[in-house]
Amino acid sequence: MALLTAEQIEAADDRQWEDVPVPEWGGTVRVAGMSGTDRNDYQKKMLVFGGNGKPKEVDLTDQLARLLSKCLVDENFKRLYTDATIKKLGAKNGAVLERLAKVAKRLSGLGEDDVEDAAGNSEPGQSGSSTSA
């Protein structure tokens, strides 16, 4: 297989999404995976930094709504919620938000430990060497 150029990578439509029925809301929503930039922004906004500039804790306030505000989109992939309207989304049923957040995390490549890793609170994993032929 040939190596890709920057132009080919940038031209590739690698968005992932799912349309998820939400009977509690009377319809279906589109959940899209976050871009790398959106994912980094989401993770960064969950961290509270100390005076030394290093993360000191994780802020879980409206964590599901913050995640879903970046992932709930319309048919043109325009966000349904902005950073300014997160509280409105956060006021919805927690079980529904949790169900949708699981889809958003999977589509965005977020694991349960990703925020902890970003905060530097997780145990270090085994480091292995990598070789290429």
How do residues 39-96 score in pLDDT, each as one tens digit? 999 998 888 888 888 888 888 889 999 999 999 999 999 999 998 999 999 999 999 9
Ordered DSSP codes for 82-96: -GGGHHHHHTS-HHH
2 CB contacts (<8 Å, ≥6 apart)?
A: none
In this structure, are residues 33 and 17 in contact, taking their beta carbons and an 8 Å threshold? yes
Please tell me what DSSP assigns to residue 126.
Answer: P
CA–CA distance, 96 with 116 (Å, rounded to integer):
24
What is the predicted pLDDT for the residue at 127?
39
Please tell me what DSSP assigns to residue 75.
Answer: T
pTM score of the predicted model: 0.77
CA–CA distance, 1 with 110 (Å, rounded to integer):
29
What is the predicted pLDDT for the residue at 12?
95
What is the predicted pLDDT for the residue at 61?
85
Tokens of 92: 């919805």
How do residues 5-30 score in pLDDT, each as one tens digit? 999 999 999 999 999 999 999 999 99
CA–CA distance, 99 with 81 (Å, rounded to integer):
17
Burial class of residue 56 (count of CB atoms within 10 Å of its CB; 0-12, 13-18, 19+) = middle
What is the predicted pLDDT for the residue at 117?
53
- Ordered by where they begin, the domains of the chain are 15-118 (3.30.2220.20)
Tracing tokens 């927690």 back to the chain, one arrives at: 94
